[in-house]
Amino acid sequence: MQLAMETKSVDRRAGTRPVSMGPLFSPIGNPLAEMGSRLRFARNAEIYAEGDTADRFYKVISGTVRCCKILADGRRHISEFLFAGDFFGMEAASEHRYTAEAVGDAVVMVYQRNLVERLVERDLGFSRWLRAQVMDNLDRAYARMLSLGCKTACERVVSFLLDLVERTDCDEQIELPMSRYDIADYLGLTTETISREFSKLKHAAIIAVKGQGQRIEILDRQALSEMAATD
Amino acid sequence: MQLAMETKSVDRRAGTRPVSMGPLFSPIGNPLAEMGSRLRFARNAEIYAEGDTADRFYKVISGTVRCCKILADGRRHISEFLFAGDFFGMEAASEHRYTAEAVGDAVVMVYQRNLVERLVERDLGFSRWLRAQVMDNLDRAYARMLSLGCKTACERVVSFLLDLVERTDCDEQIELPMSRYDIADYLGLTTETISREFSKLKHAAIIAVKGQGQRIEILDRQALSEMAATD
DNA sequence: CGTATCATTGAAGCATTTCAACTATTGTGG
DNA sequence: CCACAATAGTTGAAATGCTTCAATGATACG
């Protein structure tokens, strides 16, 4: 695990975006705040590896993190992308089941697991909030399963874009932090298919793709919503 | 929600299989035991529907439960199968996101959500145990995502069988409680594909299929494990 | 005993993948 | 600062794994 310890100074970038602790837990008097260390990771740096002892847990301050797993024959699966404000690294087991990596340069807070667990037992509000956090993760996991289990390539890409808009608080301009490969492994498709689906949406004037394909503008949000195959 | 209230008498069938509360929570002096009601559901009966108020939660005593969702165009997705001892119906939101149905005849315990939540805040051991329960759900959800995201039809079917052997405590003889349709919607495949994959495994002498396809015997467990595409 | 339901099997179709070529952008050393 | 290599994205054509459509077989049920 390659890491660069930073000073515990206030993160200026984090300040540009309110990092909500959720409705059940006010960031004022946040009992976690004092317990963590700030770490900075370079693009593609490993935060922890599959099999590492899961004795800490993490919160994204800035940048994007991906959790992934590689099968014996090289197939890769990305279980989650995590954005500013998201927590990750909590495990049922004592070892991490997935590898966590910085997608671009990223800053994360690290908390000792046993400290967090002690806090959970002392602080009822924190305990409620943490449970809500885990339940949200579960909800997202079920939404992903639905995508992977019964949606077409087009529907998956559209759902992905809409989810991204919701989770990172951008409106119509999306700055994709991850590559087509990452998106492919996240959606259970190939880079080529992702590229083709983006092209189709572009030609249908539903989105506009700028730069090296990293900047996406949503031109017709309603059309996009109607293509997402919700229930 | 069609239901038939039962007396709170001891479940003779449940007694044939120890219903563990997990390593962190002893069934002796189980504080939940006094709080629930036993309900019996007929094959395919709805336990709760998507959109219903999520004010209770459930535990399978006997039989199998499926959680599913149907998209606007009729595509169905099964998010989970639940077996004796499994809990379900806990939600982050105030409404159920999935519909729960009995696969065959099933008996479940029902608990009032607010009673459970009160117990969580009073009883530290119960709280720990419930958190572990949710984390286990999360682990299973990630394993499913991996299956749906990057495994072939054959690998999914094999993983499904192995998972079934692990979760229901049968050894080599599996009594499939669900139809090929259910398995298909669970694995993101079609009935025909499930059938074909079973046939392939049968012809390779890895499994034997008996009866109306409901009874499966594992003949070569090692071969099966090698085909599951684990990491 | 006929009807309904579920499982199996075959053949054709199709969505996505695989393979391959090309383009655009980024970084690097002369 | 330019040339060149390396990396990422796009697009086309062929291949393929799974689905769809269709028919048949097996089991349960009134």
State chain A's mean pLDDT as an integer.
87
**CA dist., res. B182 & res. B33, Å (int):** 31
Q: Give B212's DSSP letter.
A: T
CA proximity to B226, closest of B148, B154, B172, B144: B154
With CB atoms and an 8 Å threshold, state whether B141 touches A142.
yes
B23 is near strand D: CB distance < 7 Å = no
Question: Tokens at residue B31, please?
Answer: 């504080």
pLDDT score at A171? 81
Q: Average pLDDT of A20-25?
A: 44
Q: Is the pLDDT of residue B130 over 80?
A: yes
With CB atoms and an 8 Å threshold, state whether B97 touches A149.
no
B231 closest CB neighbour out of A70, A91, A132: A70
Q: Which of residues 160-199 of A touch strand D (CB under 7 A)?
A: 179-181, 191-192, 194-196, 198-199
Given pLDDT bands bounded at 50, 70 and 90, which one contains residue B217? Answer: very high
Please write the tens of the pLDDT for every residue from B174-197: 999 999 999 999 999 999 999 999
Q: Is the pLDDT of residue B33 over 90?
A: no
**CA dist., res. B170 & res. A46, Å (int):** 40
Q: Is the pLDDT of residue B203 over 90?
A: yes
**Contact B74/B147 with Cβ under 8 angstroms?**
no
**CA dist., res. A97 & res. A100, Å (int):** 10
Q: Which residue is listed with tokens 């993160």?
A: A11
With CB atoms and an 8 Å threshold, state whether A141 touches B139.
no
Chain B CB contacts of A114 below 8 Å: none
**Contact A148/B145 with Cβ under 8 angstroms?**
yes
For A10, the enclosing helix (H) or strand (E) is: none
Would you say the pTM of this structure is higher than 0.85? yes
